[in-house]
Structure formats: structure tokens, C-alpha cells
Amino acid sequence: MPLTPAQLRARLGGVIAFPVTPFKKNLALDLAGLRANIRKLAGQQVCAIVAGAGTGELHSLSTEEHLAVVKATIEEVKGRHPVLAGVGFSPQTAVDMARSCTAAGVDGILIFPPYYPGDANDEGFFNYYRNVAAATKRGVLIYSRDHANFSPAAVVRLATIPNFIAYKDGQGDIRRFQQIITRVGDRLHWIGGAGDDCVPAYYSLGVRTYTSSIANVAPRLSHRLHELASARTAEADAELAGIMRELVVPLYAFRGRKKGYEVSVMKTMMDLTGQVGGFVRPPLNDLAPAEVSEWRALLKPWKKWL
């Protein structure tokens, strides 16, 4: 049985994995590759798996493909971890996706900002998230990213949505996030969502859950980041700083070379380490051959975590 909102919230502690969606060279969906990746990931120390979200190239999937990805993920996870689905695009599309994914058996819904070619106001955002949340009885997470950059007062109002259980920060603005947490308190579960490289900053605020794209390649490393950042001892801090310096910060610097490389780099790393990364769909770009060779050389210090 899918989890209730309260049960889902209770399970959110540690690493939330965001698997990629593999595509073949002709850009067709590679469900067999996805299933192989999920089977491996499902045996790792993660607290939840989010199918068809940002790292999973939600923006490039048809609603039919998205549902196929969600169903395949649920089937391969086999109840070992909560499975959530990313939804978004237009308001009605997000509602339809939330309904279909709920019927498929997901444990929760991660709501992306609505597409809008400009700045929506707080009233419009509230109505959007309220309507999508009303389309499911599952717990929902709101993802603050891009133009969905909320004030503390706006989050207070969003927190009146009954099944809104957790807030994922994708802005990386630690000052703003601290103000939101201070204002709203424990009404919501707080998730660091701007990247593995932000773990030390997020955990300094008391956050103890974060979303990891590194979990696609090295889930043991993702869990170790959580352990070390949670410990808050001098020894743990020193080890954490070393891992960040040697592995995580260089990875995120490489990902920052081009817009969209945050997905392309992870897929290349997966291909180079025996998993199924595959190609990205436009408007994203695959890495250039020289960059793939560069990454092959950069993988040496990662081997102990693979």
C-alpha cells in the first residue's frame, strides 16, 4: 500500500535519490536501462527515490513516457523505499500527472514550478500548488527553484495546504532558507535540494535530508556525506571537507561548464562506471568526446565509492 502523507514524512531522513532517465542513441526511452539502474539503486541506503524529476529530464518526457518511467520505478523498487514522482508543466498537466501517478501507486508527488513566461505572483503560485495537491491524497513536496522563489510569508501560506509535507529548496540561498525555516518551523520537513555540494551549508541549518544526483553513480558516497554532515564533530568535518575538495566540488565545477551539463555529466559518469546513462534529449547537450575522455581520467579517486 502507498504511504500516507504522515508516513512518507516520517521516512524522509538522509539521501533522496534522483535517477536519470536513460535514452538510446535515437533518443527513444530506454526502459530496460532504467530498470537495471533502479534495481541497483534500490539496494542502497536512500530514504526515497524520485522518478521522472529534474535529473530524470522531466521536461523532455511526454506524459505517457513519464508514467511509464514512474511505473517501471515502482515495479523495480518493490516497496523497499518510498517512490515519488515529479510533476509540472502547465497547471492542468501537473494535475493530470499527479492523478495518473497516484493511480500508479506512488507514495508522494514532487511539484515543480508551473511553466510561465514571466513572474507569477504569490497568489497565483498558491492557487497552482493548492490545485495540484488537491489532485492526490499522497503527500506532496513543493520544489522551490527558478522563478518559484518564495518569501517566508509565502511559505507560511503554502503550509496551509493539508497534504503539503516537505519543502525542497533548490535556490541555494542559505540566508533566505534559514529565514523560511525559522518562520515556518516544524510544520514542514526541510530538504536541501540545490546539490550535493551544498550539504555542509544545509546541514549547518539543521537540515538532515538532501537530494542527490551523485546517488546515480556512487550512492555510498551520498550516504557518507549525510553521515559526516550530521555528525558535526571535528573529525567528521575534516573528512567531509576532504571529500568535498577531492570529489564533490570538482564534479559540480565540471557540471557548471555549460547549462544542462548537470544531467549530461552524471549520465557520462554512469556510462563510464558500468551503468546505463545513455544520451540526453535536446535542448540538453551530451558531453564532447574530449570531455568524456577527461572524465575517464578524473574517475580514479571515485573508484573506492563505486
A 10 A CB-CB count for 200 gives 16
Torsion of CA 53, 70, 125, 179, to 10 degrees: -50
> Cell for 188?
514542514
Give the orientation angle of helix 31-41 with respect to helix 63-77, to 10 degrees: 40
Three-class DSSP category at 95: helix
Which alpha helices (DSSP H) does the chain contain, by range? 5-11, 31-41, 63-77, 91-104, 122-133, 152-158, 174-184, 199-204, 219-231, 234-243, 249-255, 261-272, 289-298
Over range 260-284, report the average pLDDT.
97
d(CA 168, CA 145): 9
Contacts of 128 (CB under 8 A, 6+ apart): 91, 94, 114, 120
pLDDT value at residue 153 = 98
> Cell for 33?
536501462
d(CA 14, CA 227): 8
CATH 3.40.50.300 for domain 5-232: no
| Chain centroid, CA 148 distance in Å | 16
pLDDT in tens, 2-31: 999 999 999 999 999 999 999 999 999 999
pLDDT band at residue 119 under the 50/70/90 scheme: confident
Domain ranges of the chain: 5-232
d(CA 253, CA 255): 5
pLDDT in tens, 151-206: 999 999 999 999 999 999 999 999 999 999 999 999 999 999 999 999 999 999 99
pLDDT value at residue 141 = 98
pLDDT at 118 over 80: no
pLDDT at 117 over 80: no
pLDDT at 260 over 90: no
Over range 106-122, report the average pLDDT.
90
pLDDT at 222 over 90: yes
Over range 72-89, report the average pLDDT.
98
Return the ∠ at Cα 13 (arms to 139 and 78), rounded to 5°: 65
pLDDT in tens, 35-63: 999 999 999 999 999 999 999 999 999 99
d(CA 234, CA 53): 36
16: alpha, beta or left? (left if phi > 0; alpha if psi -120 to 50): beta
C-beta of residue 56 within 8 angstroms of C-beta of residue 18? yes
Q: How long a stretch of residues is the chain?
A: 306
Burial per residue of 53-72, b for 16 or more beta-carbon CB atoms within 10 angstroms, e otherwise? bbbbbbebbeeebbbbbbbb
User: Model pTM?
Assistant: 0.97
pLDDT in tens, 194-219: 999 999 999 999 999 999 999 999 99
A 10 A CB-CB count for 297 gives 7
C-beta of residue 94 within 8 angstroms of C-beta of residue 52? no
pLDDT at 263 over 80: yes
- What is the rounded average pLDDT for all residues in the chain? 97
